[in-house]
Chains A and B, each alone.
Chain A
Amino acid sequence: MSSVAHLRARAEAEAARLPPLLAQAEHLAGTVLLGEHGRRRAGMGDDFWQYRPVQPGDSLRMIDWRRSAKSDAQFVRQREWQVAQSVMLWVDAAPSMQFASGKDGVRKGERARLLALAVAILLIRSGERVGLTGTLLPPRRGEGQILRLTEMFLQEDGGDYGTPETKAMLPHARALFVSDFMGDFEAFSQALTKAADRGVRGVCYQVLDPAEEDFPYRGRAVFESMGGTLSHETKKADDLRQRYVEKLAERRERLRDLCRVTGWRYGTHHTGDSAQAALLWLHRALENRG
């Protein structure tokens, strides 16, 4: 009895969380669509395909007003759909992504999910198939997929640092890995090589907190990972700063190298910066099919 009520309550709580993320992502995606619109550049499917009646879920901007004005119903003008790509997303949901410096800071995981979902919306709107890596949610088209993706993104992993899931990678698909890439570098390297072997190209997007970049700590401190598995104690944190920054740069360089070798693109984003710029970069990077 209680489990039903419990389930219901949880479901409602989850559902309540869903719209903000979705709305945020829609909003973010909307800014990019608007920006792209003015460029009059030929996108995928320039040719007219058909008018179809408006269905729930279509945004107003998709309505073809010229056609709609000729009759009582509203129509959406669909363009010729060309070969759709599959895009596979992996968003790191490990506890390390829960980190945010300062009280009001944005968590890395939040930003990563937001960006991934916004990219997914953009891709789905432009007719691509989007799914998650692994077997949980294979790439599909349609608005419903956005909801499913949102739901999946809200789940969190255990452990301390995340590793990309490379099972069931579709050959020659595209992929987007969003993470802080603080985890085991070897595991990541293997995953990426495996994906590249299957002809998957994509983007590694490293989301970092400004504190991770600058290391603004001083004095005596014990640093612990978010899961609590690792810890390091120091007497003078400010002395470590220079070496930390160097090591971070080194890891970033290795990531960049790995990406170059495998034909992926590598980008960095700080949670202190604007999400919109990051989305623009991601959108451009994913469109840029090599």
Chain B
Amino acid sequence: MIGGLAIGFVTPWLLAALVILPVLWLILRAIPPAPVKRLFPGVVLLLGLTDDDTVTDRTPWWLLVLRMLAVAAVIIGLAGPLLNPQEREDGQGPLLVLLDASWASASDWDARRAMVEALLEEAARDGRVVAVQRLSAPEELRFAQADVWTSRMAGVLPMAWEADAATHETFVAGLGEQAFDTIWLSDGLERGGREAVLSALQARGDVRVVQTGRGALALAPPTYEDGKVLLTAKRTQAALEREITVQAIGLDPAGTERVLAALPITFEAGSAQAETALSLPSELRARVTRFEIAGVRSAGAVSLSDDSLRRREVALIAGREDREGLQLLSPLHYLRQALVETADVLEGALTDVLPANPDVIVLADVAVLSEGETAAMLEWLDQGGLLLRFAGPRLAASEVSRTEEDPLLPVRLRAGGRSVGGAMSWGEPKSLAPFDVDSPFYGLSVPDEVTVTAQVVAQPDPTLADRVIAELSDGTPLVTRKAVGQGQVVLVHVTANAQWSALPLSGLFVQMLDRLAVLSATGADAEERMAGTTWQPVKVLDGFGRLEDGQTLAGVTGEAMLEAPLSMDLRPGLYRDGDRLLALNVLRAEDDLQPVRWPADVPVEGLRGAVTTDLSGYFLAAALILLAVDVLASLAVSGRLWGARVAAVVLAGLALPQEILAQEVFADHAQEVVLGHIVTGNRGVDDTALAGLRGLGMVLNFRTSVEPAAPVSVDLESDELAFFPLLYWPITPDQPTPSREAYAKLNTYLRSGGMILFDTRDGDVAGFGTSSPNGRKLQSLATGLDIPPLDPVPSDHVLTRTFYLLQDFPGRYLSRDVWVEAAPPDAEQIEGMPFRNLNDGVTPVVIGGNDWAAAWARDAMGNTMYPVGRGRSGERQREIAYRFGVNLVMHVLTGNYKSDQVHVPALLDRLGQ
């Protein structure tokens, strides 16, 4: 150690090299940075000029200090500095490193492992043999060389459970007679059997205990009360006030796991327990899969949620209740009473209830469902619904499922049912037979007072035996069940009220509903509910609180789930039995965390302060950084930093992505009117389109105040469309259909005032009603576009008079089929006016097939590229085509300005009227 700093050196004699630093100072001081030699004829003029700064030739002192520091850092780094060097401890003989390795030690497992590794290293230096043991999963005690254990440390992980008394006994039994010293890394929790272990270890040698001062923190299972989720956190260190955050984690609607809610829990000073209530909408609550203490990596900090947080939705539907019945005779009364505590009850007509997709539908004495209701019900059943039906007078009297099994009943029914033990019949009322092993009710005890006086009777069928899940003492089926799709239909052969049997009056009724997963899980009378069940692990927690697949593990009995301590065979996690899901958490509701009390003769030390850090890497890195700074500083002193800066800037410039260039190119388009055409992929068509727009641009330039820049080919997938007032889209049968993003872009473009001129280029072959390959392609392309209703251009459309007065819109072909957005239906022609008042909206599309681009096309010299028509009439047609183009561009740029009635007199004048 050196001074107050806990720094030691591996090779301290290397520090002697620091003596050379002053020598180095003198040497470095004398050498100025070398000047650049330049040949320069103008030196004649320089002669006699002196420098303004009279800096000495010597290296600046700060540069020297920098270099000294670098050299010193190298020397110190090579000397191998250690922070907190370990005091050598005297120890001989075997060493046992004992880890509690429970969930409570998972949160600072890295520190524990580092500690164990340090101990192993030390043992290796001392030549001691070592054994590493986990109390939570004891193995045969084997002492081996320390490096053997070092290589195995990666596999030594904390368990999600803690050692119980039995495990402690096993461990003590396996200790043997050998003498050894022990270092016990405790998790700080008191548990039965620890004293026995301690005394056994003390009998064999010295025992040292290492434990953290932070204490354990755990989350109890959430409970549901009054519409709120109650969360309870417990801790061992009760002294100070502490606030932790609990997160509710579950799947969001997209199926990804995320934090659905987070809320703080505050431990009062001196209290080992803290509670908070979390109010969540039931939809959200149903999605919560677990609660976690944020920032604590331990199985104890995770509390899995199961069905107990889910409120099942149960729809109760009775037959017609038109009579003025007494409430206790209502077929739904007992059901309502049984369910209202634990489930959300829906009541209403079947057609109203089904869209809410309840978990369970209860039909009490409902005989006939309409055909539509049956179909809807079957569909709901296919998706996993549970249909629970109760018999009753109406079902008994109906013809349902008499000769043929009804799809919504598990069995065929005999006419009339039967009644036993009544005033007018023989025999005693029948009681229930004990439940069969295969029955979901297995394990429930049958009280004697449950008797049945009347029931509907199932007809014997080959399938009947499989479908009975409860029967009377004489073997008559009482509850039958069949699977429909993923769901099931259950028929209770008695009424849901006390009319036919005493079943609804008994506690068994509720338990049976629970077993059928009608009820939401609750903690009440857990033992009876769990009796006779077997639970299959679905997901289990590891020591760090991560969920692992548990499907390969063996099932657990219901009793063990309730009482047995957690162990290798009963891991915390999610268990399933049929439709029921149960969470087994590290901390049970009634458990408390007890801090361990060590006897006074056992030395207890903390985990911290024992870690040795090798500092040489830091020193060498610092030396490198200093040298890098020295390079820059030397360049700066000799005035050559500028070149380095330029190089850096150039490199950075080269690294810039090319896309920015493309963006800039298109940003240029924003400054001028640019016509664009959509790239079809057909070279010839694209070239013609570009040449056509060029020709149109020339004409616009000559005749109008619109002076468009050179036209541009637009790739729908990659280019921004917003800069183009008009897009020309020639159609080829084989052009690719734009992607969804491109369609979105196009629709935005159309909605924000852009115009697309579609040209099928087949005006000579296609007319009204006929379709060409190009026309069909246009239809398929346009399906994704937001195109309003279309009309052929009406003779008073503004397109006919935006610049020139036109009635035809020829291109290379002379077809009149040009379509634009339809006029609003209420556009009326006013008497005496030549035009209707169509004041709103530029048509977003113009669709035609006249191959305008070919008529407009001009090469770079301004010569037309394609013939139009014959002779002078052809040239006239080309002229009209140009005029159409001019009108179109004017229409796009000026909107419906020419539609304004202000211009009517002038237009009338020109029209010679």
A-side residues, CB < 8 A to B, are 96-97, 99, 161, 180, 182-183, 209, 211-212, 215, 217-226, 230-240, 243-244, 247-248, 251
Contact = CB atoms under 8 A, between A and B. Distances in A.
Interface stretch (B48-56, B403-411, B707-715): B48-56
Interface in B379-394: none
A225 to B, nearest CB: 5
B39 A224 contact: yes
Contacts of A226: 39, 41
Interface size class of B (residues with CB under 8 A): 20 to 34
B639 A222 contact: no
Interface in B730-748: none
A183 B43 CA distance: 11
B37 A244 contact: no
11 contacts: A161-B44, A219-B36, A219-B642, A223-B40, A223-B42, A224-B37, A225-B41, A225-B43, A236-B639, A244-B49, A251-B45
A223 B35 CA distance: 10
A219 B40 contact: no
B633 to A, nearest CB: 14
B51 A232 contact: no
A251 B46 CA distance: 12
Contact of A217 (B38, B41, B51, B55): B38
Interface string B601-644: 00000000000000000000000000000000000001110100
Given A220-B35, A225-B40, A248 B52 contact: no
Contacts of A222: 35-38
Nearest to B43: A223
A168 B55 CA distance: 53
B33 interface: yes
Most chain A CB neighbours (cut-off 10 Å) among B46, B47, B638, B639: B46
Nearest to A235: B51
Given A212-B42, A224-B39, A226-B41, A219 B47 contact: no
Most chain A CB neighbours (cut-off 10 Å) among B39, B40, B642: B40
Contacts of A231: 43
Interface in B31-87: 33, 35-47, 49, 51-53, 55
A212 B41 contact: yes
Contacts of B639: 218-221, 236-238
Contact of A248 (B37, B38, B45): B45
Contacts of B52: 236, 239
Nearest to A94: B41
Nearest to B637: A220
Nearest to B50: A234
Interface in B743-784: none
A211 B55 CA distance: 27
A272 B35 CA distance: 28
B35 A96 contact: no
Please list the 5 inter-chain residue pairs (A to B) with the smallest Cβ-Cβ separation, ordered nearest first: A219-B639, A96-B41, A220-B35, A247-B45, A223-B40
Given A219-B640, A220-B638, A220-B639, A230 B47 contact: yes
A95 to B, nearest CB: 8
Contacts of A180: 41
A24 B113 CA distance: 84
Contacts of A235: 51, 53, 55
A127 to B, nearest CB: 37
A248 B53 contact: no
Given A182-B41, A226-B39, A244-B42, 11 more contacts: A96-B41, A99-B41, A215-B42, A217-B38, A226-B41, A230-B44, A234-B49, A236-B639, A244-B45, A247-B45, A248-B45
Given A236-B51, A236-B53, A236-B639, A230 B43 contact: yes
A288 to B, nearest CB: 30
Contacts of A247: 45, 49
Contacts of B638: 219-220
B86 to A, nearest CB: 53
A187 to B, nearest CB: 13
B635 to A, nearest CB: 9
Interface in B4-43: 33, 35-43
Nearest to A233: B35
B92 to A, nearest CB: 68
A273 B47 CA distance: 28
Nearest to A240: B49
Contacts of B43: 223-225, 230-232
Contact of A220 (B36, B42, B46, B49): B36
A234 B43 CA distance: 11
Contacts of B49: 232, 234, 240, 243-244, 247
Nearest to B55: A235
Nearest to B638: A220
Contacts of B44: 161, 182-183, 225, 230
Contacts of B38: 217, 221-224
A94 to B, nearest CB: 9
A185 B786 CA distance: 84
Interface in B640-699: 640, 642
Most chain B CB neighbours (cut-off 10 Å) among A223, A237, A243: A223
Contact of A240 (B39, B41, B46, B640): B46
Contact of A221 (B35, B41, B45, B55): B35
Contacts of A224: 37-40, 43
Nearest to A232: B46
Given A218-B639, A232-B46, A248-B45, A99 B53 contact: no
Contacts of B51: 234-236, 239-240
Contacts of B47: 230, 232
Contacts of A219: 36, 638-640, 642
Contacts of A230: 43-44, 47
Nearest to B46: A232
A217 B46 CA distance: 13
A223 B46 CA distance: 9
Contacts of B55: 235
